[in-house]
Chains A and B, each alone.
Chain A
């Protein structure tokens, strides 16, 4: 059976889209709702994944507790990133966030005793002793499989999407509250919000931290899906994937994120099947780059013809 028709392949695409949904939802909260230009979002994913893996392997911690610590530490990271930077102008903040994520990646690469270094978590217990942090996850997934009478991929698909959709609903509900209203007002005009007594800085910090938690949860699933990972998995490119997803789907709405993630996932995976001329003239690495070109073209096309995203509101876009 060819890959394009293979169920295993598409369920993999679905799992990744679910993880991206969680990840990009963080950007939607931060930028789509609060107007924060966070270009270092991948850092929160990395903090979540690494904290969990390190605590399980080195401290023998219960994996679920370790996962909770990962999310909390990412939230703390959000506070530490936000405290000195959120009062800066939007563009300076954006630059600082990239620096934040890149610094963490370099630290993770070089502190091999803590993180396993550039080879990744496989070296967490020391070189040559293949470390594993996901035993508990495997047995959990096993019980889902037998409970629902499904295969491993499907079980993962169900778990990831359950969590992702719960998160989407939670964000949707939050944005309908008065708290969400304040966030949107800050995105629109911080001075207006401040003139009505809203502590703009405190709300931006909260948005950053909520987004950080979502990024960390995505990081946990990333870790569980791939069984081992390394610092280079958390390169800035991943942050930009989240941005593309949010822009593809549409800004300022929670439910556009899973749509954006699925579209992104399908384009991304779909370009693998460009095995007809002229694409068949390219070798496989070149074809891998082709997917980025295709996504770039889709975004450019979208900006030209549907700047509000696939499901964004045109009317909101043109208001001044």
Chain B
């Protein structure tokens, strides 16, 4: 087996006395679509925050493409190609929808004062290219009609889609999606899922996503990681996990649909 793109080892993160993540370990394979599931409060979002550098780990380690990232600042992790969305979308409401996506472009020479002053033509050319790509992505999530509107006018579901477009704009290698379909209208949610499958197939992108809708999890993911009370209690293929007793217990007897 090749080295995993993400290796989480014995990660611990507490809030006061609460052990939100309590020694969680798992791998995400290169090119996979991996689901992270677990009941409310299991520590999924906290784990995302640790992996993406928004919270420090109090123990354990995180490796991305073979390199430790558990001490790296969040922006550097993102630049390396590990980009995340938030459970509550972080829409920049007073920027236009288009600007939200443009902002996400990586390596933009126009974002540096030196690049702007010394090589303005290059910065402009890059901005044109970025604009083109941003419009494509907005079309993909059906927000192109709103490109010039303030992002603050978007609904909750549309904001999730905007976050998704933004993440893709960064040209990531590993994408962490925290409940990407929550609040998204089912038709668009389905399309989003198809985009994920397609991006994996064409671009070799890897996805790790948190999702409560088990039907979606079973359908879309290659592997499932189950968390409960800060620990990983099971992992494997969707079929393996579905029949795992500990998983059924953690979900209080709610048998996942087939």
A residues in contact (CB < 8 Å) with B: 174, 177-179, 181-182, 184-185, 188-189, 191-200, 206, 252, 315-316, 319-320
Partner of A320, one of B54, B104, B111, B152: B152
User: Whole-angstrom distance between the alpha carbons of A191 and B163 in the complex?
Assistant: 13
Q: Give residues of chain B (158-207) contacting chain A, Cβ–Cβ below 8 Å.
A: 166, 170
Partner of A319, one of B52, B75, B79, B152: B152
A188, B93: Cβ atoms under 8 Å? Answer: yes
Partner of A188, one of B92, B104, B113, B116: B92
B95, A178: Cβ atoms under 8 Å? Answer: no
B108, A195: Cβ atoms under 8 Å? Answer: no
User: How many whole Å from A97's CB to the nearest CB in chain B?
Assistant: 22
Quick one: closest A residue to B104, CB to CB? A196
B102, A178: Cβ atoms under 8 Å? Answer: yes
**Is B150 an interface residue, CB under 8 A from the partner?**
yes
B111, A195: Cβ atoms under 8 Å? Answer: no
User: Whole-angstrom distance between the alpha carbons of A302 and B134 in the complex?
Assistant: 38
**Is B78 an interface residue, CB under 8 A from the partner?**
yes
Q: Which of B9-17, B83-91, B222-230 contacts A (4 or more CB under 8 A)?
A: B83-91
**Is B221 an interface residue, CB under 8 A from the partner?**
no
User: How many whole Å from A209's CB to the nearest CB in chain B?
Assistant: 10
B residues in contact (CB < 8 Å) with A: 52, 54, 73-76, 78-79, 83-86, 90-95, 99, 102-106, 108, 110-113, 116, 123, 127, 130, 150, 152-153, 166, 170
User: Whole-angstrom distance between the alpha carbons of A206 and B112 in the complex?
Assistant: 10
User: Whole-angstrom distance between the alpha carbons of A179 and B86 in the complex?
Assistant: 24
B111, A179: Cβ atoms under 8 Å? Answer: yes
User: How many whole Å from A82's CB to the nearest CB in chain B?
Assistant: 15
Partner of B127, one of A178, A189, A191, A320: A178
Number of A-B residue pairs with CB-CB distance less than 8 Å in the complex they form: 94
B110, A197: Cβ atoms under 8 Å? Answer: no
B152, A177: Cβ atoms under 8 Å? Answer: no
User: Whole-angstrom distance between the alpha carbons of A185 and B111 in the complex?
Assistant: 12
User: Whole-angstrom distance between the alpha carbons of A94 and B170 in the complex?
Assistant: 33
A184, B94: Cβ atoms under 8 Å? Answer: yes
The winner among A195, A199, A206, A319 for most chain B CB atoms within 10 A is: A195
CB-defined A-B contacts under 8 Å, sample of 5 = A181-B111, A194-B78, A197-B76, A197-B78, A198-B111
Contacts of A185 in B (CB 8 A): 92, 95, 103
Q: A179-B116, A320-B152 are known contacts. Are A193 and B110 too (CB-CB below 8 A)?
A: no
User: Whole-angstrom distance between the alpha carbons of A188 and B93 in the complex?
Assistant: 7
Q: A195-B84, A316-B150, A319-B150 are known contacts. Are A206 and B113 too (CB-CB below 8 A)?
A: yes
Partner of A316, one of B90, B94, B102: B94
User: How many whole Å from B49's CB to the nearest CB in chain A?
Assistant: 10
User: How many whole Å from A121's CB to the nearest CB in chain B?
Assistant: 33
User: Whole-angstrom distance between the alpha carbons of A4 and B125 in the complex?
Assistant: 54
B93, A320: Cβ atoms under 8 Å? Answer: yes
Contacts of B86 in A (CB 8 A): 191-192, 195
Contacts of A192 in B (CB 8 A): 86, 90-92
Partner of B75, one of A188, A199, A316, A320: A199
B93, A196: Cβ atoms under 8 Å? Answer: no
The winner among B52, B74, B76 for most chain A CB atoms within 10 A is: B74
User: Whole-angstrom distance between the alpha carbons of A319 and B152 in the complex?
Assistant: 5
Contacts of A182 in B (CB 8 A): 103, 111
User: Whole-angstrom distance between the alpha carbons of A316 and B153 in the complex?
Assistant: 10
Contacts of A189 in B (CB 8 A): 90, 92
User: Whole-angstrom distance between the alpha carbons of A222 and B89 in the complex?
Assistant: 46
Q: Apart from A178-B127, A194-B73, what are 11 other A-B pairs with CB-CB below 8 Å?
A: A178-B123, A178-B130, A185-B92, A185-B95, A188-B94, A192-B92, A195-B75, A195-B85, A196-B170, A200-B75, A206-B113
